[in-house]
Structure 1
């Protein structure tokens, strides 16, 4: 029996999937093959790609899975909707990579040393708000496209810097492009950033369950719970970080106004064994506190 693993047909996605395939083959003791899943957005020039392209990619992978083209699909968990599908299961969340964002700037510059007016590529409302919060005199520029195309815009002088996920740089062997990586306490990132999830048809969980990493599942589930609960209140850009420290699950969330001029932070912790649903309990505490502080006014 060969396990067919569906992957988006891009350099980063295929690199991520290859690492999963090698581990899955060792654990399952069987052959594993990659099935590239192409969408209409793959191969488009960045300016032609749809703004909601991550949703397009997730949908395409899920269609390939439900139609039997593959047995497993690999997602960047930060792209996956928080609402569960009754016919599908996120059967494994593998050990997380670097959750931080990195700055890739010309001439080895850092966020602090970029000149006023420098053009900095950002790929999300969260990164735009954070950039405005830290350095309001810089010019955020929305960027689309794959990692190499974003870095190329710095190399050719179109941008002075670009902000990208540290894990993506590492997985594509471009870690040397980073001139600075931001502390999660100062620059929290998207829920579940840096984590990969393996999705299967409901009932097929045993295919990949050996790759599930308990600590990563716990922390990313907590982050995604905060995101899901806050989205019922407002659409403010949200950075959220969860970590396990000596058995204590600590979650911190920071919501921003779209222009970065205001921000609200809430942090709570508990021992997972003391709660029936630690992710949901912490999310409720955090969002209730943010609501009481006026988060709905941010966006």
Structure 2
């Protein structure tokens, strides 16, 4: 398409939250859409309830608080498509909307940003009273960090915090906290991965279902746009996060529940042929965790991926997971 022809086309309007991270990841999607479709794309900044409320996510319901305003803009015709962090999306898909694309996933791991560049195992040596104060707003992280500390003879105090990346890292820079836990994907997209002190192994801290993945959503009736955006979709990422979100849905838990999940591809001799799904539910003090995994053929359909998640959720519920999800870190 010539530059002149492109300039005569109406720009596609991409709805995004106003945070630096949301703008960064939406900007990356916009660049890709421009390249693939030849159409101009403009960002439309939208403020969500989750951005303005100072309460912790568990108090305001968690599920959908960063999503509803973007979806309202889609229905009102104010934007053509929206970019979400997939882990923020409710597990039940709206009938009139479609996840047109789930691009290649970023690093799903959690990371530590700590004072003096120290990893977790070394922080205690110089912490007052030997107690490491770690900030996070996620009950999931609290549960697993507390369990990890207990198993490794560490003394930690998890402190509930909210705010953007600058605010959270600021607690460490000011000395109020010894460390904070963030998602590697967000720091990567902001170009700040160099500030990471330690990548937390998924064997110790499973990420949130869908962490590191983006969701590109539009009206299902806009079939031309659905087809255009589908070029950004990555089949392996979609299968993995569908299994993770199916687990979350089958546990009847929201995005603020203390649930971690990760589906990753298992390579065989010649090619990838299996998908391993791991899940964890725990009390926020780390005293009790239900952690299980299952492995099956790489899903070739949405239903196959959903079935894998439901299978593992059933096993976790049989082990007592339901009784652990009522606890929230407030």
The bucket for the TM-score relative to the shorter chain is over 0.9
What is the count of residue pairs matched by the alignment?
Answer: 295
1:165/1:111 CA distance change after superposition, 3 Å? same
Structure-2 residue corresponding to 1:130: 144
Structure-1 residue corresponding to 2:286: 260
Structure-1 residue corresponding to 2:238: 217
Unmatched runs of 5 consecutive residues or more in structure 2: 1-8, 125-129, 267-271, 326-330
Cα shift at 1:267: 1.3
Cα shift at 1:259: 1.5
Q: In the alignment, which of 150, 155, 160 is matched to residue 142 of structure 1?
A: 160
1:76/1:293 CA distance change after superposition, 3 Å? same
After TM superposition, the structure 1 = structure 2 runs for residues 227-266 of structure 1, keeping only pairs within 5 Å, are 227-231=248-252, 237-245=258-266, 246-266=272-292
Q: Over residues 92-129 of structure 1, what are the superposed CA-to-partner deviations in whole Å (9 max), with x where a residue is unaligned?
A: 00110010000000001111112132211012110111
Q: Over residues 127-156 of structure 1, what are the superposed CA-to-partner deviations in whole Å (9 max), with x where a residue is unaligned?
A: 111111112521111110101110111111
Q: Over residues 180-200 of structure 1, what are the superposed CA-to-partner deviations in whole Å (9 max), with x where a residue is unaligned?
A: 011122211100000001000
1:123/1:94 CA distance change after superposition, 3 Å? same
Structure-2 residue corresponding to 1:104: 113
Structure-1 residue corresponding to 2:328: none
Structure-2 residue corresponding to 1:287: 313
Counterpart-to-counterpart distance in 2, 1:292 and 1:144:
33
- Length-normalised TM-score, structure 2: 0.84
Counterpart-to-counterpart distance in 1, 2:98 and 2:55:
29
Comparing 244-253 and 58-67, the one that deviates more: 244-253
- Length-normalised TM-score, structure 1: 0.92
Are 2:86 and 1:77 aligned? yes
Cα shift at 1:298: 2.4
Aligned residues: CA RMSD: 2.1
Q: Over residues 72-97 of structure 1, what are the superposed CA-to-partner deviations in whole Å (9 max), with x where a residue is unaligned?
A: 10000000000110111111001100
Counterpart-to-counterpart distance in 1, 2:253 and 2:115:
40
Counterpart-to-counterpart distance in 2, 1:211 and 1:256:
35
1:236/1:257 CA distance change after superposition, 3 Å? farther
Unmatched runs of 5 consecutive residues or more in structure 1: none
Counterpart-to-counterpart distance in 1, 2:209 and 2:82:
20
Counterpart-to-counterpart distance in 2, 1:293 and 1:79:
27
1:270 and 1:278 in contact (8 A); partners too: no
Counterpart-to-counterpart distance in 1, 2:185 and 2:308:
26
